[in-house]
Amino acid sequence: MSETKSPHGGLTRRSFLKTTGAVAAATAAVGSGATLVGLTPVSAHAEGAASVEGEQVFRSSCRGNCGSKCPTQVVVREGKVVRVASSELPGEDNVRRRFCVKGYTQPQRIYDPDRLKYPIKRVGERGAGEWERISWDEAIDTIAGKIGSAMKEYGGSSIGVWSSYGSYGVLNGAMSGFMSVGYGCFITALGATIFGAGADYAQIYEQSSLLGVSGNDTTDIVNAKVIMSWGGNPAEAYVHDWQFVCEAREKGAKLITIDPQFTASAMHSDMYVPIRPGTDGALMLAMANWIIENELVDVAFMKQKTVSPLLIKEDGTYLRMSDLGVEPTEGPINPQTGKPTVIDLNVVWDAAAGGPLPAAKATDPELLGKYEVAGYQVQTVCQKVKDSIGEYTVGKASEVCDIPVETIEKLSRIYATEGPVAVLTWQGLGHHVNSHHNYKNLAFIAALTGNAGKPGAMMTRGGCGMYPVNTKAYFMGKPGDNITGMYLPQIMETGKWGEKDLTIRVLWICNGNVLSCESGRLDLIEAVKKIDFVVCADTSMTDTTQWADIVLPVPHAYETVDFDPICPTPYPTLYNKAIDPLYESKTDIDILRAVLGKLGMDKILDKSDEEFLHLVLDTEANLKAGGGYQAFADNKLGRNFAFTEASKIDTFKNTATQRLQYYIEKPVPRNNFGQKVADYERIPYYENANEAYWDNPLREKYPLMGCSQHHKYHVHSQCAYTPWLRELEPEPLLKVNATDAKERGIEQGDYVRVYNDRGYAVLKVLVTEGIMPGVVSIPHGFQADQFVEGHTQDLTNVLMNDFCSNSAFYDFLCEVEKYEGGER
Ligand SMILES: Nc1nc2c(c(=O)[nH]1)N[C@H]1C(S)=C(S)[C@@H](COP(=O)(O)OP(=O)(O)OC[C@H]3O[C@@H](n4cnc5c(=O)[nH]c(N)nc54)[C@H](O)[C@@H]3O)O[C@H]1N2
Ligand SMILES: Nc1nc2c(c(=O)[nH]1)N[C@H]1C(S)=C(S)[C@@H](COP(=O)(O)OP(=O)(O)OC[C@H]3O[C@@H](n4cnc5c(=O)[nH]c(N)nc54)[C@H](O)[C@@H]3O)O[C@H]1N2
Ligand code: SF4
Ligand SMILES: [Mo]
C-alpha cells in the first residue's frame, strides 16, 4: 500500500467538498468494485426472510458507540451487503426500533475504497503519512519481536493497551482494556498496562460507580410530567430516546432545555434556559436551597428512600450499630468475592424513640440534627450537606450561571412541584474539570423532591442493563495498572506512575480513535512519539493510525461474529457474520492469537470463537433462564431475560446503602496514585471549571469559552468519511454567536482561525444566534485532513480532575479571528 501517501488514501479536503450529488457518492462506492443499491427500506419485506430471490438476511448490530446499538438486519446478495435496516422487535418492544442515517449508510463504510485493506508499516517519519504494504507474517513477527524484547527488559507493564469505545464485543471489543476475551486475556497474560477512556467518566464514575444510580429504563420517559434536557441533546444524540420525549409531550409533558447552545432539543422545548458553561453545579445548589427555604421538600421520600437521615461521624464515615456495641452479622454470600456479606446496620436518630435506632427500624428518623451517640459527635447527612451549600443562594447562582433570578426560581418551583421529572443528561454535565460534582448535586435535588426511583422520575435514564456474562473468561492472570489515557504524557515525561517506576515501550491502540477523540491531542501525540513502537488496529486510517508504526486492518461489524452484552434495547445481538472479512482484514482476537502464538503463549487463546462464546454466555444462571449462546445462535434474536418489567424503575438497589445517595462515605479516586482526597468529594459541591470560568484573568487574552456537541451525522469520528453523510455535513463548522462574530469582523461562511496557547484550527464559521455570546462550539469527530489547518481537539487539555479523571473537552478558553489564508 505504498500508494497510500495521505492518511486517507489521498482523499484531500478539497475532493470531499467537491463530491456533490448522490450519484457522485454512489459512484465512489461502486468504484471499489462493490454494488451498492439504493436505500430501500428492508422493513418493507418480511423479517428474516429473503425479500428478493437470492438475498439473505443476517442479524447483526450497529457497532458504533452512539448508545443505541440498534439490532440490525443486514441484507446480502451475491456476497455483498446491499442494504441494512433495524430489526423488527417482538411485541411491545418494537417501539424501541429506530434506525438513522448513520446506520443506513454503513454499507458505504464497508465498501469505502479507502478502507484499510492490508497491514501497513510506516516508511517515513512518524506521522508523515508514508506507508508500505507488508504481509501479515511480517506484521506479526515485528509486533511479537517488539513485545518480547520490551517484556524481557522492562516487564509486562511496559506494554500498554489503549482503547476507547469502538466495540463492546465480548470477543474483539475493549473498553478500558476489558469487556472481551481477546484483549482481556492478552492484557492479563502479559501483565500489560491498561489505558482507558476519560470521555464519559464524570457520569460513569461519579454517578454510576460511586453513587450507584442507574436511572429508569428509557421507555419510562413517557410517564414524566416534566422532562429536563440538562446538558444533553436527545433529539440528535439520543435519537432512540427522543421518541419517548415526543410521546410524553403529546400527553402534555413540559420540556425544558438547559444548554448554552440552542440545540434541536431546545427548539422543541417549552422553556429554554441558556447557561454559562461549567456552572450547572451552582444552579443545582441554588435550586436545593430555594426548595428547602420554600418548604417544598418531599419529607417522606427523604426519610425513607434517601441517605438524608443517616448519621455520620466527624471523620465522615457512617455511624453503624457496631459503634453502639452490636456485633455485625453475616449476610448472604457475595457472588463476586465468594464470601459472606457483613451486616452492620446504619444508624439514624429516631424522633419517636428519642434516640438512635437502626435505619430500617426507625419510624420517624430526623432529617436534620446534631447528636452525641456512644461518645461520637454525629450529624445527619442532610444536616452536613445543608450547612455546606449555604452560600449558593439564587442570587449568587444567577451571577455565576448568567441566568435571571426569576428563571432559577421558576425552574426550582417546576422541579419541586410539577413532577415526576425526568432529567435527561449526559455530556453537557460531564466535560469540565469540575463536572463530576454535578451528579452529587443533581442527586441532592432529586432526593429533596422525590424525583428519582418512581415512574417518570429519574436523574438519568438507563438502558436495559447488561446481559449477564462470565467475565472470568477475560482473565488469564493479573493486569498491570488501569490508567486513564490522558496521564500518558505525564508517564512518558517522568517514567513514573505515582511512586512506581513505569516505562511504556510498546503501545497497542484498538477500539478507539484516541488521538482524535480524547482531550489534549497535541500532548497525547507528543507522548505517543516517545514510545518505541506503536501498533494500531482499525478498519480505516484515522487521526490515530497516522502516528503508528504498524497499522492492522480489522473487519467491519457485519464481517465478524461477536456478542455485545450492553443492551439499550432488550435485545443484545449476536453479530452474525453476513460476509467474510474483506481484503486481508482479521478480527482483533485472531490478530492477538497470532501474536501470542509467536510469543510462545498459544495456550492463552486456544479456543475457537464459538467455544469462547459458549464459555462467556453459557453460565449456569443464563442456561437456567433459557439464555446463553443458543438463545442467540442461528440468527435468532434473543431477549435479555435479566431485563424485566420490575427492573425498569431504579430501586437504588445498587447503591451501598440501598437508598438514593448524594453522599459518598468513602470516596476513592478512579486513578489511585496516592493523591489526597478532599472531604468535599463526599458531598454536593461546586467549584469553578479549571480554565473555562468567567472570572479567569486568562479571558483577557482568550475571552471565549468552549463546548461542542455530538453530531447527528457522526458517531464520534466514525462515519467521518461516509460520502452521503458528508454531503449533508460537508466540513467542520465552528459555531460563533453573531455578536462575537460582528465584534471580530467575521461574516457567515468565512474561514476562521480558532486558537489558544495549546493549539489552533482553521475551519469555516457558522455565525448563529443559537449559541450564547462568549461561547463557541467546536465540531467533534472530524479528522485532521478535514480541517484547513490544525484540529479543534488541539485546543483542549489533557488536564483532568485527579479524583474522577474525566476528559474535560469543554474546559478551554480561546479566541477566534478571520483567516486570511483562503480555502486550502
Ligand atoms: N449522533 C450521535 N449520537 C451520539 C453520539 C455521537 O457521536 N453521534 N455519541 C454517543 C455518546 S458516546 C454520548 S456520550 C452521547 C452524548 O449525548 P449528549 O450529551 O446528549 O450529546 P451532546 O451533543 O454532547 O450534548 C451535550 C450538550 O451539552 C451542552 N453543553 C455544553 N456545556 C454545557 C454546560 O456547561 N452546561 C449545560 N447544561 N450544557 C452544556 C452542549 O451545548 C450540547 O448541546 O451521545 C451518544 N449519541
Ligand atoms: N471535542 C469533543 N471530543 C469528544 C467528545 C465531545 O463531545 N467533544 N465526546 C467524547 C465522547 S463522549 C466519547 S464516548 C469519545 C469517543 O471516542 P472514541 O471511542 O475514540 O471514538 P470513535 O470515533 O467511535 O472511535 C472508535 C474507533 O474504533 C474503531 N473500531 C470499531 N470497531 C472496532 C473493532 O472491532 N476493533 C478495533 N480494533 N477497532 C474498532 C472505529 O473504526 C473507530 O476508529 O469521544 C469523545 N471526544
Ligand atoms: S448510529 Fe445509532 S441510532 Fe443510528 S442506526 Fe446505528 S445504533 Fe441506531
Ligand atoms: Mo460518550
pLDDT confidence band for 428 (50 / 70 / 90)? very high
pLDDT in tens, 292-323: 999 999 999 999 999 999 999 999 999 999 99
Q: Please give the CATH number for the structural domain made up of 215-462.
A: 3.40.228.10
- What per-residue string of b and e applies to 214-229 under the rule 16 or more CB within 10 Å gives b? bbbbbbbbbbbbbbbb
pLDDT confidence band for 27 (50 / 70 / 90)? very low
pLDDT confidence band for 823 (50 / 70 / 90)? low
Roughly what angle, to the nearest 10 degrees, separates helices 405-417 and 437-449?
Answer: 60
CB 428 less than 6 A from any atom of ligand 1: yes
Higher per-residue pLDDT: 277 or 568: 277
Looking at residue 52, its pLDDT comes to 77
Q: Which of 696, 705, 697 is nearest to 815 (CA)?
A: 705
Looking at residue 824, its pLDDT comes to 52
Q: What is the pTM of this model?
A: 0.94
**710 with 823: CB under 8 angstroms?**
no
Higher per-residue pLDDT: 615 or 175: 615
- Cell readout for 58 is 443476517
Q: Which residues contact 17 (CB under 8 A, 6 or more apart)?
A: 730, 731
**Mean pLDDT of all residues in the chain?**
92
Q: How many residues does the chain have?
A: 824
Question: How far apart are alpha carbons 113 and 37 in whole angstroms?
Answer: 16
Residue 406 alpha carbon to ligand 1 centre in Å: 27
pLDDT above 90 for 571: yes
Which amino acids bring their CB within 6 angstroms of ligand 2? 63-65, 164-167, 172, 199-200, 427, 510-514, 517, 537-539, 542, 554, 588, 708, 710, 715-718, 778, 780, 793, 809
Question: How far apart are alpha carbons 650 and 145 in whole angstroms?
Answer: 50
CB 67 less than 6 A from any atom of ligand 3: no
CB 232 less than 6 A from any atom of ligand 1: yes
Looking at residue 822, its pLDDT comes to 61
pLDDT above 50 for 39: no
Distances (CA, A) of 238 to 3, 235, 338, 368, 462: 40, 6, 38, 39, 12
The 3-state secondary structure of 691-749 reads: CCCCCCHHHHCCCEEEEEECCCCCECCECCCCHHHHHHCCCCEEEEEHHHHHHCCCCCC
**370 with 379: CB under 8 angstroms?**
yes
Long-range contacts of 636-640 (CB under 8 A, 24+ apart): 636/59, 636/574, 637/59, 637/71, 637/87, 637/89, 637/90, 637/571, 637/573, 638/571, 638/572, 638/574, 639/90, 639/93, 639/570, 639/571, 640/464, 640/465, 640/467, 640/567, 640/570, 640/571, 640/572
Residue 68 alpha carbon to ligand 3 centre in Å: 6
Question: How far apart are alpha carbons 424 and 221 in whole angstroms?
Answer: 9
Instruction: Return the residue matching grid coordinates 433570578.
Output: 405
pLDDT in tens, 98-125: 899 999 999 999 999 889 999 999 999 9
Residue 240 alpha carbon to ligand 3 centre in Å: 8
Looking at residue 340, its pLDDT comes to 86
Q: What number does the ligand 2 atom closest to the CA of 165 have?
A: 19
Residue 586 alpha carbon to ligand 3 centre in Å: 24
Q: What number does the ligand 1 atom closest to the CA of 424 have?
A: 20
What is the DSSP annotation of 129-165? --EEE--HHHHHHHHHHHHHHHHHHH-GGGEEEEE-S
CB 437 less than 6 A from any atom of ligand 3: no
Chain CA centroid to CA 172, Å? 19
Residue 511 alpha carbon to ligand 2 centre in Å: 7
Mean pLDDT in residue range 433-447:
97
Looking at residue 26, its pLDDT comes to 32
CB 265 less than 6 A from any atom of ligand 1: no
Distances (CA, A) of 768 to 373, 398, 600, 683, 773: 60, 24, 60, 38, 10
pLDDT above 80 for 58: yes
> Domain map of the chain by residue range?
4-110, 120-201+468-631, 215-462, 697-818
Q: Which fold has domain 120-201+468-631?
A: Rossmann fold (3.40.50)
What type of residue sits at position 62? Answer: C
> What is the percent of the chain with per-residue pLDDT over 90, rounded to a whole number?
86
Q: Which of 669, 615, 588, 674 is nearest to 187 (CA)?
A: 588
Query: Which numbered ligand comes closest to the C-alpha of 175?
Result: 2
What type of residue sits at position 357? Answer: L
CB 461 less than 6 A from any atom of ligand 1: no
CB 277 less than 6 A from any atom of ligand 1: yes
Roughly what angle, to the nearest 10 degrees, separates helices 280-293 and 394-401?
Answer: 160
Looking at residue 6, its pLDDT comes to 41
Looking at residue 49, its pLDDT comes to 44
Name the residue with the closest Cα to ligand 2, atom 19.
Answer: 165
pLDDT above 60 for 33: no
Question: How far apart are alpha carbons 294 and 413 in whole angstroms?
Answer: 9
Number of H helices, E strands in the chain: 23, 35
pLDDT above 50 for 191: yes
User: Is cis: bond before 420, omega within 30 of 0?
Assistant: yes
Name the residue with the closest Cα to ligand 3, atom 4.
Answer: 100
Radius of gyration of the chain measured on its C-alpha atoms: 27
Question: How far apart are alpha carbons 512 and 476 in whole angstroms?
Answer: 23
**222 with 248: CB under 8 angstroms?**
yes
Name the residue with the closest Cα to ligand 1, atom 37.
Answer: 231
Looking at residue 496, its pLDDT comes to 96
Residue 711 alpha carbon to ligand 1 centre in Å: 9
What is the DSSP annotation of 744-780? TT--TT-EEEEE-SS-EEEEEEEEESSB-TTEEEEES
Best of 114, 716, 725, 756 to mutate for ligand 2, by most ligand atoms within 8 A of CB? 716
The CATH number, out of the four listed (3.10.20.740, 2.40.40.20, 3.40.50.300, 3.60.15.10), of the domain defined by the range 697-818: 2.40.40.20
pLDDT above 80 for 29: no
